[in-house]
Amino acid sequence: MRIIRSKKEMSAISRQIRRQEKTLGFVPTMGALHQGHLSLIQRAREETDFLVVSIFLNPIQFGPEEDFKRYPRVFKRDARLCRREGADVVFYPKADDMYPADFKTSVSVSELSQVLCGRFRPGHFQGVATVVAKLFNIVSPDIAYFGQKDAQQAIIIKKMAWDLNMPVKIKFVSTVRQNDGLALSSRNIYLKPKERKDATVLYQALNLARHLIKQGNVSARDIVRRMKQLINKKKTAVVQYISIVDLKDLRPVDKIKGKVLIALAVWVGKTRLIDNIIVNV
């Protein structure tokens, strides 16, 4: 496995792989890898000939009050895990190379970026789309893998690739959870023991929604209300939003039918956690 820091070198490797007519799989990450990231890596490893994992803590997707400074940085450990999982290249660019002082361009996917998390994190998805577009141009993958854990992000990237005719296939990978249901996240390490226990309520609320829908309840409003009630029982938890939206356009639905995304963001102590499920009615 090679660790590549230069964009030029990364592109040269990619060109070489294409000349050999091998398929190139790509998993973009911000590092602090856990089993969620590894499931993307494993899937890519199985499905493609040459595997690139990028580790880049993207400054432009963090708001001024967000956790960019304290986000865990554990590159050596991440590189070890990538090697163990059979990655061919870890692409680890420097922030100054990705964003030189005269950097001026951004990619924004309208509407999809303004709803759900976008309402509370202005500029976030523009930062994500911009960095992923750059990474796609540098790495030129055939297939790129994204987690359902960040469903809105994955949907936005797929739309960007489609709208801008990027020759890359976007694949979604299911959310990996701990035994008690908490979705794995690099941010879970911020949780204090009591908060960690309370954090299971996110998935419990999603399961409650699934259960209510199965029983025939189609009122998004009623389901959201009952989810809120459940979450509010935990002292450390404060709901930021709970939304039930159409999976395609992320528009809110009143009556649940077809494929819906049930998504939420909850502050647990000082940590903002997100989770979601897709329900097909």
Q: Using an 8 Å Cβ cutoff, are 281 and 152 in contact?
A: no
When binding is defined by CB under 6 A, the residue of 14, 152, 175, 236 that contacts ligand AMP is: 175
CA separation for the pair 201, 189 (Å, rounded): 17
When binding is defined by CB under 6 A, the residue of 4, 10, 30, 52 that contacts ligand AMP is: 30
CA distances to 58, 107, 159 from 164, in Å: 21, 10, 8
Considering beta carbons, is residue 190 or 220 the nearer one to ligand AMP? 190
Provide the Cα torsion 141, 151, 125, 209; round to 10°: 180
Q: Using an 8 Å Cβ cutoff, are 122 and 63 in contact?
A: yes
Tell whether residue 36 is a contact of ligand AMP (CB under 6 A): yes
Considering beta carbons, is residue 149 or 234 the nearer one to ligand AMP? 149
- Give the tokens for residue 241: 């939003």
Considering beta carbons, is residue 66 or 222 the nearer one to ligand AMP? 66
CA separation for the pair 70, 247 (Å, rounded): 33
Given the residues 34, 37, 124, 211, the one annotated as active site:
37
Size of the site for ligand AMP (CB under 6 A): 17
Provide the Cα torsion 232, 152, 250, 156; round to 10°: 160
Taking the complex as a whole, the smallest distance from the CB of residue 191 to ligand AMP amounts, in Å, to: 15
When binding is defined by CB under 6 A, the residue of 10, 24, 38, 40 that contacts ligand AMP is: 40
Task: Looking at residues 194 to 223 of the shown chain, list those that interact with ligand AMP (rule: CB under 6 A).
Answer: none
Tell whether residue 50 is a contact of ligand AMP (CB under 6 A): no
When binding is defined by CB under 6 A, the residue of 10, 13, 26, 29 that contacts ligand AMP is: 29
Q: Is 222 helix (H, G, I), strand (E, B) or coil?
A: helix
When binding is defined by CB under 6 A, the residue of 133, 155, 184, 206 that contacts ligand AMP is: 184
Considering beta carbons, is residue 14 or 39 the nearer one to ligand AMP? 39
The site map against ligand AMP for 129-168 (x = CB under 6 A) is -----------------xx-xx------------------
Neighbours of 141 (CB within 10 A): 28
Is residue 37 among the annotated active site residues?
yes
The residue behind tokens 């007519």 is 21
Taking the complex as a whole, the smallest distance from the CB of residue 250 to ligand AMP amounts, in Å, to: 16
Q: Using an 8 Å Cβ cutoff, are 47 and 25 in contact?
A: yes
CA separation for the pair 10, 7 (Å, rounded): 5
Pairing type for strands 237-246 and 169-173 reads: unpaired
Considering beta carbons, is residue 140 or 186 the nearer one to ligand AMP? 186
Taking the CA atoms of 143, 181, 129 and 30 in sequence, report the sign of the dihedral they define: negative
Taking the complex as a whole, the smallest distance from the CB of residue 78 to ligand AMP amounts, in Å, to: 10
Considering beta carbons, is residue 10 or 154 the nearer one to ligand AMP? 154
Closest CA to 44 of 85, 95, 72: 85
Taking the complex as a whole, the smallest distance from the CB of residue 124 to ligand AMP amounts, in Å, to: 12
Residues that bind ligand AMP (CB under 6 A): 29-30, 36-37, 39-40, 146-147, 149-150, 173, 175-176, 183-186
Please list the active-site residues.
37
